[in-house]
Amino acid sequence: MDKVYESATAALEGVVADGQMIGVGGFGLCGIPEALILALRDSGVKDLTCISNNAGVDDFGLGLLLATRQIKKMIASYVGENKEFERQYLSGELELEFNPQGTLAERLRAGGAGIPAFFTPAGVGTLVAEGKEEREFNGKRYIMETALVPDVSLVKAKVADRSGNLIFNKTARNFNPNVATAGKITVVEVEEVVEIGELDPDHIHLPGIYVHRIVVNSNPEKRIEQRTLRQA
């Protein structure tokens, strides 16, 4: 089955809608699906709940959707690089559900594995634990966290074959596999597509059964958040 679409816009057509929960891969600006985020913005869908480690920067990544007020709620673990994210949250314009970073990753992994909830010690005794079930196991306190299952997941990989088997590029893998497996529908942006059978099965990071649509962006910008240069 050929899952490749001609453009990011075509790949999202008939998939995204107002009020959905959208999972987005990436860590900072590393491994974000740049073209799919732009297409999501241009689709005009609104009142979105977005799951992502953070929300890009003010003029790139999910920051573009914050600027257009298409995001109603963020489920994230970090705000620091995006001043508009911070401003909207502090002014009450944006709902925010903070998660410890490992908890966020595990909530997505659990969603992909069909596990509805799990217990973790992360956040016990803090604001993170408010309103959550707490239990003791072997003398240690744990809180219950629920799985995340996005309506649509947007993911970035390096290479795909036409059936959706994926290879990620080093640290750009980050949250992408968990986001991919958790989504009810997963759309993947890649830099290269090869024919079925060209990928060594031992080199595949994520099997195509989790992937529904693919789009090629052969020249992503891959912007760097912070660049520090040594003085000459």
pLDDT digits (tens, 9 = 90+) for 65-100: 999 999 999 999 988 778 899 899 999 999 999 999
The band of 183, judged by pLDDT with boundaries at 50, 70 and 90, is very high
CATH number attached to the domain at 4-216 = 3.40.1080.10
> What digits encode the pLDDT tens for the residues 13-31?
999 999 999 999 999 999 9
Mean pLDDT of the chain: 96
Q: Dihedral sign for Cα 201, 110, 31, 230, please.
A: negative
Q: Report the candidate in 154, 149, 81 with the shortest Cα–Cα distance to residue 113.
A: 149
Contacts of 72 (CB under 8 A, 6+ apart): 46, 47, 48, 49, 94, 95
pTM (2 decimals)?
0.95
The band of 161, judged by pLDDT with boundaries at 50, 70 and 90, is very high
The band of 177, judged by pLDDT with boundaries at 50, 70 and 90, is very high
Residue 171 has pLDDT above 90, yes or no: yes
The DSSP bridge pattern shows strands 21-24 and 4-5 to be unpaired
Residue 227 has pLDDT above 90, yes or no: no
Question: Cα–Cα distances in Å, from 92 out to 59, 86, 162?
Answer: 21, 10, 44
Task: Provide the pLDDT for residue 123.
Answer: 96
Task: Provide the pLDDT for residue 226.
Answer: 77
Structure tokens at 190: 């890649």
Rounded-to-integer distance, Cα 127 and Cα 137, Å: 21
Task: Provide the pLDDT for residue 188.
Answer: 98
Rounded-to-integer distance, Cα 1 and Cα 202, Å: 21
CB 8 within 8 A of CB 215: yes
Question: Cα–Cα distances in Å, from 110 out to 72, 145, 148, 150?
Answer: 24, 10, 7, 12
Residue 221 has pLDDT above 80, yes or no: yes
Instruction: Give the number of other Cβ atoms within 10 Å of residue 17's Cβ.
Output: 13
Q: Domain-by-domain residue ranges, the chain?
A: 4-216
Q: Percentage of the chain surpassing pLDDT 90?
A: 90
Residue 224 has pLDDT above 90, yes or no: no
